[in-house]
Amino acid sequence: MLDTMSDNGSRLSPIEAAKLQPLMLGLFLPIQSGAWSPSTAPRGTSWTFDYNARCTVMAEKLGFDLVFGLAQWMGKGGYGGEMKFREMATDPLLITAGLAALTKRILLVSTVHILYGWHPLHLAKFGATLSEMSGGRWGLNMVTGYKRSEFEMFGLEPIEHDHRYVMADEFVTMMKRLWSEDENLTIDGRFWKTRGAFVAPKPVGNKCLLVNASSSGAGLAYAVKHSDLIFVTSPAGANLDRACEALPTHNAAIKASAAEQGRDVRTIINPHVICRETEAEAWAQYDAILRHQDPVAAENFYRTFVGGDQTSWKAATREQWTIGGNVHIVGTPAQVVEGFQRLKLAGCDGVQVNFYDFLPDLEFFGARVLPLMREAGLRLDHPLAAAA
């Protein structure tokens, strides 16, 4: 287990301890049916809480730094097809609450669409409660939403792209004040108002980990102001070679913008990892996922992400979306570690991995990939000692 005591004897926050790792390591939980791949190739991956709890407990045992899942609102049948891709979808805020009691070290991040009827006071109270439940391990992945169908489910009209981030800035600023200020709070905001609001207990350290996935100018301006972790996407699609050509400039611009505000942010990216003992076996699994794709679900899934007003994910092909994840790393354990090294050299501070068949793939990853990551200097058992 990670040593989280600093040289002066104080205990580091979970995110500060994670930042000491040369490459942060997260697991993207499969809390929707079908996870990231609209394919019927054989697997045991399940959307259920029990399955995700087993994944999380295993990830913590293996030394992962964080877990989180998507939030989505789908109609009957999900993305369609025979498999009704992602029709079953649990709520990540509630999943996180359940995981808090089952874990001791790993960061637990909840994805929330904050513009779908939330008030900052709601989320400030819920977040502070989850922070207390988890010992300061809760984080928020703030999303604004972009799908017309989701806004309409809540009786709302879609909000213009850049304006969503103006609203998010006000929302999160109010929420952070509720976490940190020790007096009743009255704010007459442009979008949210409150009179005499107060949250107690405060979250551990009077703050919670803030995460955001952004690629646009407005989104990144929000992210560098508020977020601790920025979930980046490859501007060049899921091919690893092309991604590693495009990411250095993208990551550098984000960190330079944050530095101008005196902030230290870290970027993390989502590789879909297909790892086997031989390269041929790994690519055979890749081909099997494509060969067994649900064509209706795959087409609907792809069209949803290339058709919105968001700037993320636009360069990924339909085939790449059928595999899932933002960057594909396919091969032997050594080749997977080499892929992680390339992402680190491209400026990524962490990877948030997902798999096709989660539990056996995660177990194999722990047995065969993690030891090589440590040998390569990407993961440290005791980062505080190494940093001394």
Report phi then psi at 259, rounded to 5: -60, -35
Tens digit of pLDDT for each residue in 188-204?
999 999 999 999 999 99
Tokens of 175: 């929420």
What separation in angstroms does the CA of 64 have from each of 49, 55, 106, 188, 259? 19, 11, 7, 42, 27
Tokens of 60: 């913590």
Check which CATH number belongs to the domain holding 266 and give it. Answer: 3.20.20.30
In a domain, 215, yes or no: yes
Tens digit of pLDDT for each residue in 66-95?
999 999 999 999 999 999 999 999 999 999
- Residue 67's DSSP bridge partners are 27, 108
As a whole number, mean pLDDT of residues 127-131 equals 98
As a whole number, mean pLDDT of residues 130-138 equals 97
CA 31, CA 102: separation in Å to the nearest integer?
Answer: 17
According to the model, what pLDDT value does residue 8 have?
Answer: 53
In a domain, 369, yes or no: yes
According to the model, what pLDDT value does residue 386 have?
Answer: 42
In a domain, 2, yes or no: no
In contact, 42 and 367? CB cutoff 8 Å: no
According to the model, what pLDDT value does residue 1 have?
Answer: 37
In a domain, 3, yes or no: no
Confidence of residue 360 (pLDDT cuts 50, 70, 90): very high
End-to-end CA distance of the chain: 18
In a domain, 5, yes or no: no
As a whole number, mean pLDDT of residues 290-306 equals 92
Query: Is residue 231 over pLDDT 90?
Result: yes
User: What's the structural domain count of the chain?
Assistant: 1
One-letter-per-residue 3-state SS of the chain: CCCCECCCCCECCHHHHHHCCCCEEEEECCCECCCCCCECCCCCCCCCHHHHHHHHHHHHHHCCCEEECCCCCCCCCCCCCCCCCCCCECCHHHHHHHHHCCCCCCEEEEEEECCCCCCHHHHHHHHHHHHHHHCCCEEEEEECCCCHHHHHHCCCCCCCHHHHHHHHHHHHHHHHHHHHCCCCEEEECCCCEEEEECCCCCCHHHCCEEEEECCCHHHHHHHHHHCCEEECCCCCCCCHHHHHHHHHHHHHHHHHHHHHCCCCCEEEECEEEEECCCHHHHHHHHHHHHHCECHHHHHHHHHHHHHCCCCCCCCCCHHHHHHCCCEEEEECHHHHHHHHHHHHHCCCCEEEEECCCHHHHHHHHHHHHHHHHHHCCCCCCCHHHHHC
Tens digit of pLDDT for each residue in 345-358?
999 999 999 999 99
Query: Is residue 184 over pLDDT 60?
Result: yes
In a domain, 171, yes or no: yes
Confidence of residue 11 (pLDDT cuts 50, 70, 90): confident
Tens digit of pLDDT for each residue in 20-78?
999 999 999 999 999 999 999 999 999 999 999 999 999 999 999 999 999 999 999 99
In a domain, 347, yes or no: yes
What separation in angstroms does the CA of 6 have from each of 25, 147, 192, 274? 21, 44, 40, 36
Query: Is residue 316 over pLDDT 90?
Result: no
According to the model, what pLDDT value does residue 383 have?
Answer: 52
Query: Is residue 338 over pLDDT 70?
Result: yes
Query: Where in the sequence is the domain holding 314, given as residue range(s)?
Result: 14-387
What separation in angstroms does the CA of 222 have from each of 117, 169, 192, 218, 232? 20, 6, 18, 6, 14
As a whole number, mean pLDDT of residues 118-145 equals 97
Overall residue count recorded for the chain in this entry: 388
Residue among 156, 161, 167 at smallest CA distance from 308:
161
Q: How many CB atoms lie within 10 A of CB 307?
A: 12
As a whole number, mean pLDDT of residues 261-282 equals 97
Q: What is the mean pLDDT of the chain?
A: 93
In a domain, 4, yes or no: no
Tens digit of pLDDT for each residue in 140-183?
999 999 899 999 999 999 999 999 999 999 999 999 999 999 99
